[in-house]
């Protein structure tokens, strides 16, 4: 539902909402109860979008899937001097930073606060709107 001027240029102040499928994988023997999640989207080092995810619980050795909505601020993407080159190539390279904080619980005996941080770089195909390449690095703080 992006409003365009002359059919080509997004109207100033427009935003795009993108739904992302995010998974919380817990490979451990302890359950992980997490609070609200945050994700920030960057385009050439500038914040262009953010999202909040709901709290939840990832049982031991299970994966929890959830959909989050990322609100992209179109004006910030359009202001990038790299946009024309990226559009010509048909791909956009973006970086996301996600943070999930919560607690692990082992048999109600051992309880620890844990924060998981994910840095991902991704290349998005403009025409198919699919992620062509994605590399992620995880950091866990106990």
- Domains plus CATH for the chain? 4-141 (2.60.40)
Tokens of 35: 């609070």
Tokens of 65: 């899937």
Given a cut of 60, whether residue 2 has pLDDT beyond it is no
* Contact assessment for residue 24 and residue 54, using Cβ atoms and an 8 Å cutoff: no
Helix (H, G, I), strand (E, B) or coil at 62: strand
CB atoms within 10 A of CB 88: 9
Would you state the pLDDT for residue 119? 93
- Please write the tens of the pLDDT for every residue from 105-140: 777 788 889 898 989 999 988 778 788 899 999 888
Distance CA 16, CA 103 (A): 33
Name the average pLDDT for the chain.
83
- The pTM of this model reads 0.78
């Amino acid at each position: 539902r992006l409003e365009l001027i002359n059919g080509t240029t997004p109207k100033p102040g427009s935003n795009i909402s993108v739904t992302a499928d995010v998974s919380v994988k817990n490979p451990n023997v302890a359950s992980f109860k997490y609070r609200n999640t945050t994700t920030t989207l960057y385009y050439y080092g500038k914040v262009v979008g953010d999202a909040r995810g709901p709290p939840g619980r990832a049982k031991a050795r299970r994966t929890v899937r959830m959909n989050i909505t990322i609100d992209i601020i179109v004006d910030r993407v359009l202001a990038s001097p790299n946009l024309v080159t990226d559009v010509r190539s048909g791909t956009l390279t973006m970086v996301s930073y996600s943070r999930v904080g919560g607690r692990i619980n082992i048999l109600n005996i051992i309880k620890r606060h844990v924060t998981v941080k994910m840095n991902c770089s991704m290349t998005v195909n403009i025409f198919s709107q699919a992620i062509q390449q994605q590399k992620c690095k995880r950091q866990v703080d106990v």
